[in-house]
Amino acid sequence: MVNYYFNIGLIYFIIGFGSALVCYYIFKKDVIGHFLGALIVGLIGSFLGGVIEFFFADVIELLTHLNNSVNVFPPIITSGILLWIFVKASDRSTIE
C-alpha cells in the first residue's frame, strides 16, 4: 500500500518538476525565486491537481490513466495554471 502512494507522489513530483523546468528554462520566464520559486509553485500545482482529481474523479473518469492508477491531466493542468499566474505576478513585481 505504501508503494502505491509513493508512486502517486513520485508521479506528481515529476510532473511539477517538469513543468517548472519548461517554464523557467524553455520558456525563459523570469519568476520570483528563479528556478526554486518555479519549482515550489509547480509542485504545489501538481499536488493540488491531484487533490482536485480525487474530489472530481467521476467527472474526469474518461481521461486517460497512467498505470491504471494515476490521472495525469489534472496535475499537469493545475501546475501549468499556477505557474502561469506566478509568472504574471512576478512580472508585476519587477515593474514596480
Q: Which domain holds residue 27?
A: 2-95
Please, what is the end-to-end C-alpha distance for the chain in angstroms?
Answer: 50
Total structural domains within the chain: 1
Percent of the chain with pLDDT over 90: 28
pLDDT tens, residue by residue, 32-73: 889 999 999 999 989 988 888 788 777 666 666 556 677 777
H-helix or E-strand spanning residue 3:
helix 2-21
User: For position 2, what pLDDT does the model report?
Assistant: 84
DSSP3 helix / strand / coil % (the chain, rounded to 5) = 75, 5, 25
For 52, other C-beta atoms within 10 Å of its C-beta total 16
Percent of the chain with pLDDT over 70: 82
